[in-house]
């Protein structure tokens, strides 16, 4: 039988950390990734605009016959997830709920830190999600906007990264959090330097890993998993020229990025490749 793929989308390249964890957890599954690189970042856009963009992408991926959709973008997860879950006839998974669930489960002190972009922190999405699970948990948030360019530049273990992490995180550490949610898809790239600053007593919660775990659970419960002996194929699409996405994407995935194709969501008839004439 023909097995359907898992669809994953993000405003740009960060969602590749989610894809990486999904592939690690479910190597037999096909994936289709779409990065909306022409319209990144979503964090500065109005909720209405983010919902509109998310709908367009979901429609495109659904037209490619996916069996589950992962919203691998914190902004879109905060703003558009409920709409997509209501409108699509397949499971739709965001990145916020899985991370919040894990943080609530592992904290011992009841004090959880959340780091993310200014938009994600400003939305209070993680705080609300954690408090829905356990209202007693105290959530301390910190915006760490410079982590995104550091991750994309590959500056993840040098003095600049250490100093930046120290400036952002020392106050969080001083407030006694014992659990830290990496609330941005770029941040797992900086996991080592973040762990170094926070110290051994703090558990890092990688929302990408938790999202992959949730995807595996949902597919298992719905008998949608491909047989374990299969080998997954992975297709990548972007909405702007692919060059920048490929450069950073190779860094995020460890050099395993395949062909990347450009799509125009406003007019799906127009498609171009990255050195290939046709899409796979």
> What does the block give as tokens for 11?
């405003």
Sign of CA dihedral 240, 244, 250, 252: negative
181 bridge partner residues: 114, 205
Can you count the helices (H) and strands (E) in the chain?
12, 11
**Which residue of the set 5, 18, 40, 73 is catalytic?**
73
Spatial distance between the Cα atoms of 9 and 84, rounded to a whole number of angstroms:
12
Which one of the listed residues 184, 197, 198, 257 is annotated catalytic?
184
- Residues 257-279 as b/e (b if ≥16 CB within 10 A, e otherwise) read beebbbbebeeeeeeeebeeeee
73 is an active site residue: yes
* Interatomic CA distance for residues 75 and 275, integer angstroms: 32
Which helix (H) or strand (E) is 181 found in, with range?
strand 179-182
Tokens encoding 191: 């996991």
State the Cα–Cα distance between residues 57 and 60, nearest whole angstrom.
Answer: 5
Q: Name the residues annotated as catalytic.
A: 73, 184
């Amino acid at each position: 039988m023909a097995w359907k793929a898992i669809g994953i989308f993000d405003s740009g390249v960060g969602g590749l950390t989610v894809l990486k964890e999904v592939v690690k957890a479910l190597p037999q599954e096909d994936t289709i990734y779409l990065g909306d690189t022409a319209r990144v970042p979503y964090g500065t856009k109005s909720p209405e605009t983010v919902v509109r963009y998310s709908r367009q992408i979901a429609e495109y991926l659904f037209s490619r016959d996916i069996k589950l959709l992962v919203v691998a973008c914190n902004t879109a997860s905060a703003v558009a997830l409920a709409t997509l879950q209501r409108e699509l006839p397949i499971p739709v998974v965001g990145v916020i709920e899985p991370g919040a669930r894990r943080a609530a489960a592992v904290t011992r002190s009841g004090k959880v830190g959340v780091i993310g972009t200014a938009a994600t922190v400003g939305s209070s999405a993680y705080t609300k999600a954690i408090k829905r699970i356990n209202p007693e948990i105290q959530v301390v948030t910190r915006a760490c906007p410079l982590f995104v360019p550091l991750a994309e530049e590959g500056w993840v273990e040098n003095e600049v990264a250490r100093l930046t992490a120290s400036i952002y995180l020392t106050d969080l550490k001083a407030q006694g959090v014992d659990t830290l949610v990496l609330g941005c898809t770029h941040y797992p790239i900086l996991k080592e330097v973040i762990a170094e600053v926070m110290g051994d007593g703090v558990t890092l919660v990688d929302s990408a890993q938790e999202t992959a775990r949730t995807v595996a659970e949902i597919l298992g419960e719905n008998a949608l998993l491909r047989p374990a002996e299969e080998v997954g194929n992975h297709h990548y699409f972007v909405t702007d020229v692919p060059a920048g996405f490929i450069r950073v994407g190779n860094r995020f995935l460890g050099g395993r990025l395949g062909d990347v194709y450009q799509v125009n969501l406003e007019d799906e008839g127009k498609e171009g490749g990255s050195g290939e004439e046709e899409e796979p």
